[in-house]
């Protein structure tokens, strides 16, 4: 089965809601509709931008999807500062990143919490983009396959097979994030293939064949084609390059197989 590539722009803590509107308009204008038949495109802005993005996407009937960068494992209650799955679902979010390495490192998120967040997203009909990836020391020790396998297994723990089928996985080696050091296509493919192998072993071939596995870490228009050409890489989770409308559009068009618009 051919998996449709997904390119998701993780804006991280960048752009206010006015800047968000400008960027989405730029992408909508620059990326012709026909590309969406070959690539799914999503933006993941900060929470404060989502309502504005929703309004724009709805009003102009854009094919672009959007989502959030995190969610609470809880639905509601005394959790100051948190944002819940039902709130995101109400805003029309299709995706939410869960377990991004920045949240694991800066906010101390454990695999157990990440697993709860994956379940919270699924409960509210939002596709979790479960992020896994090793630090440089882990790779240098040759432990990257075992490390990412454990993160995958723990992140999906307790899910039914059909729920796993609804998840997107993103392999983001920590040493390649925001550093300009992209993993080679061969390095990225090695891990993505191994993750798919783990899915097959735990949930069967059908699920493993259906689930999209993205690569993230210094993806740009200059390297995306080589990455998505690999058998087991089904798109990209893009940080820095997703903040530049022209660059992001180019990247999406190339992930769709080109030509440039």
Give the active site residues.
Answer: 100, 172
For residue 25, how many other CB atoms are within 10 A of its CB? Answer: 14
**Is the separation of the CB atoms in 134 and 144 below 8 Å?**
yes
10 appears as a binding residue in the annotation = yes
Residue reference for tokens 């740009």: 220
Q: Which of residues 86-105 bind ligand 13P (CB under 6 A)?
A: 100
* 70 scored as a contact of ligand 13P (CB under 6 A): no
DSSP state string for 218-260: S--TTTHHHHHTSTT--EEEESGGGGSHHHHHHHHHHHTT---
What are the CA-CA distances from residue 46 to residues 38, 69, 163 (Å)? 27, 7, 26
Beta bridge partners of 96: 68, 128
Q: Which is nearer to ligand 13P, 174 or 207 (CB)?
A: 174
72 appears as a binding residue in the annotation = no
Q: Which among 55-63, 159-167, 185-193, 237-245 is the span making contact with ligand 13P, rule CB under 6 A?
A: 237-245
232 appears as a binding residue in the annotation = no
Q: How many helices (H) and strands (E) does the chain have?
A: 12, 8
115 appears as a binding residue in the annotation = no
* 164 scored as a contact of ligand 13P (CB under 6 A): no
Q: Which of 178, 169, 159, 48 is nearest to 105 (CA)?
A: 178
Q: Which is nearer to ligand 13P, 160 or 181 (CB)?
A: 181
Measure the CA–CA gap between 52 and 121, rounded to whole angstroms: 21
Q: Which of 20, 28, 219, 254 binds ligand 13P (CB under 6 A)?
A: 219
**Tokens matching residue 109:** 């998120």
12 appears as a binding residue in the annotation = yes
Tell me how far, at minimum, the Cβ of 254 lies from ligand 13P, in Å. 15
Q: Which of 45, 99, 173, 240 binds ligand 13P (CB under 6 A)?
A: 240
Tell me how far, at minimum, the Cβ of 9 lies from ligand 13P, in Å. 8
Q: Which is nearer to ligand 13P, 28 or 129 (CB)?
A: 129
Tell me how far, at minimum, the Cβ of 225 lies from ligand 13P, in Å. 16
Interstrand relation of 127-132 and 168-171 (parallel, antiparallel or unpaired): parallel
DSSP, collapsed to helix, strand or coil, labels residue 145 as helix
**Is the separation of the CB atoms in 46 and 13 below 8 Å?**
yes
* 237 scored as a contact of ligand 13P (CB under 6 A): yes
Q: Which is nearer to ligand 13P, 122 or 176 (CB)?
A: 176
Q: Which of residues 1-20 bind ligand 13P (CB under 6 A)?
A: 10
223 appears as a binding residue in the annotation = no
Q: Which of 67, 99, 216, 245 binds ligand 13P (CB under 6 A)?
A: 216
- Sites of contact with ligand 13P (CB under 6 A): 10, 100, 172, 177-178, 216-219, 237-241
Q: Residues forming the annotated binding site for substrate?
A: 10-12, 178, 218, 239-240
């Amino acid at each position: 089965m051919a998996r449709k590539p997904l390119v998701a722009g993780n804006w991280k803590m960048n752009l206010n809601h006015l800047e968000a509107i400008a960027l989405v308009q730029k992408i909508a204008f620059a990326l012709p509709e026909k590309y969406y038949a070959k690539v799914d495109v999503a933006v993941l802005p900060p929470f404060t931008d989502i309502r504005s993005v929703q309004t724009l996407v709805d009003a102009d009937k854009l094919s672009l999807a959007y989502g959030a960068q995190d969610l609470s494992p809880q639905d509601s209650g005394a959790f100051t500062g948190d944002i819940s799955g039902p709130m995101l679902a109400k805003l029309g979010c299709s995706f939410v990143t869960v377990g991004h390495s920045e949240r694991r490192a800066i906010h101390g998120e454990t695999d157990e919490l990440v697993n709860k967040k994956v379940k919270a997203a699924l409960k509210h009909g939002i596709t979790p983009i479960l992020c896994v990836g090793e630090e440089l020391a882990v790779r240098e020790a040759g432990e990257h396959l075992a490390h990412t396998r454990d993160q995958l297994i723990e992140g999906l723990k307790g899910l039914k097979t059909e729920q796993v089928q609804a998840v997107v996985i993103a392999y983001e080696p920590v040493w390649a994030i925001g550093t300009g050091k992209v993993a080679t296509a061969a390095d990225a493919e090695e891990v993505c293939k191994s993750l798919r192998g783990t899915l097959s072993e735990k949930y069967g071939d059908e699920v493993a064949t259906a689930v999209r596995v993205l690569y993230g870490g210094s993806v740009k228009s200059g390297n995306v084609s080589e990455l998505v050409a690999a058998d087991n890489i089904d798109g990209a989770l893009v940080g820095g390059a997703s903040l530049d409308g022209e660059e992001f559009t180019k990247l999406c068009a190339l992930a769709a197989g080109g030509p440039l618009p």
